Amino acid sequence: MSNPSMTLFYSATSPFVRKVMVLLHETGQVGRVQLQEVQLSPTSPNSAVLQNNPAGKIPALRLADGSVLHDSRVILDYLDRQHVGEPLIPHDGPARWRRLTLASLADAVLDAAVLIRYETFLRPEEKRWDQWQAAQQEKIERALQQFEDEAIAELTSHFDIAAISLACALGYLDLRQPELNWRERYPQLARWYADISERPSMQATVPPA
């Protein structure tokens, strides 16, 4: 096997990184990517990540020519065009916009959950803003309700960008907000998630507790 041609800057607990890793497993590209683990916080950037990536976010993917892609959505789109199997992001037409819109809604869950994590774990307790935190939590609930009410059939039909994004979002809620008990309120999502959690790509990318 040839040496990896790309480097992925990652953290095993990042749900945005997990999306990329799941796609790599699903499309048979794991061997093409070397993993470089980095630890980040909003106040502690990493110098290696900052090179050609001034936002300093992960995941970041350094290509063979030295250029760097960042933002998980960009990386996912790039990697999905590097394999010969069925695309996980439709290339055109209404299906593309629908699946990307569902993926965006799942990312909204992740964004809110990560912000709650920062607020409750990094910010001193006396400086926390309960109303702001509650508003983030409401975003999560609204998004999950829409998936429950309107998207179960679509999620079940294809394990693609929309399903990957939501699966990683639900996994992150289990990791960081186990007290949320989202399964009680969204039983169809719970059954769907139980099924897709058995996929090898999901099993291989479970974040450390």
In a domain, 208, yes or no: no
pLDDT of 83-133, one tens digit each? 999 999 999 999 999 999 999 999 999 999 999 998 887 788 888 888 999
pLDDT of 2 reads 65
Does 80 have pLDDT greater than 70? Answer: yes
Q: Which of 80, 101, 132 is the C-terminal boundary of a domain?
A: 80
Residues 63 and 26 in one domain: yes
Count of structural domains, the chain: 2
Edge-to-edge order in the sheet of strand 33-37: 33-37, 6-10, 60-62, 68-70
Residues 104 and 193 in one domain: yes
Other residues' Cβ atoms within 10 Å of the Cβ of residue 141:
15
Residues 98 and 154 in one domain: yes
Residues 129 and 198 in one domain: yes
Return the CATH number at 143. Answer: 1.20.1050.10
Does 137 have pLDDT greater than 90? Answer: yes
Residues 111 and 196 in one domain: yes
Average pLDDT over residues 130-144: 95
In a domain, 87, yes or no: no
pLDDT of 14-55, one tens digit each? 999 999 999 999 999 999 999 999 987 667 777 878 777 888
In a domain, 155, yes or no: yes
pLDDT of 118 reads 84
Average pLDDT over residues 154-182: 97
Residues 70 and 144 in one domain: no
Contact present, 205 and 197 (Cβ < 8 Å)? no
Q: Which domain holds residue 97?
A: 93-203
Contacts 24+ apart (CB under 8 A), 34-37: 34/4, 34/6, 34/7, 34/8, 35/7, 35/8, 35/10, 36/7, 36/8, 36/9, 36/10, 37/10, 37/11, 37/12
Residues 102 and 76 in one domain: no
Higher per-residue confidence, 13 vs 3: 13
Cis-peptide into 42, omega within 30 deg: no
In a domain, 1, yes or no: no
Contact present, 49 and 40 (Cβ < 8 Å)? yes
Residues 113 and 177 in one domain: yes
pLDDT of 13 reads 93
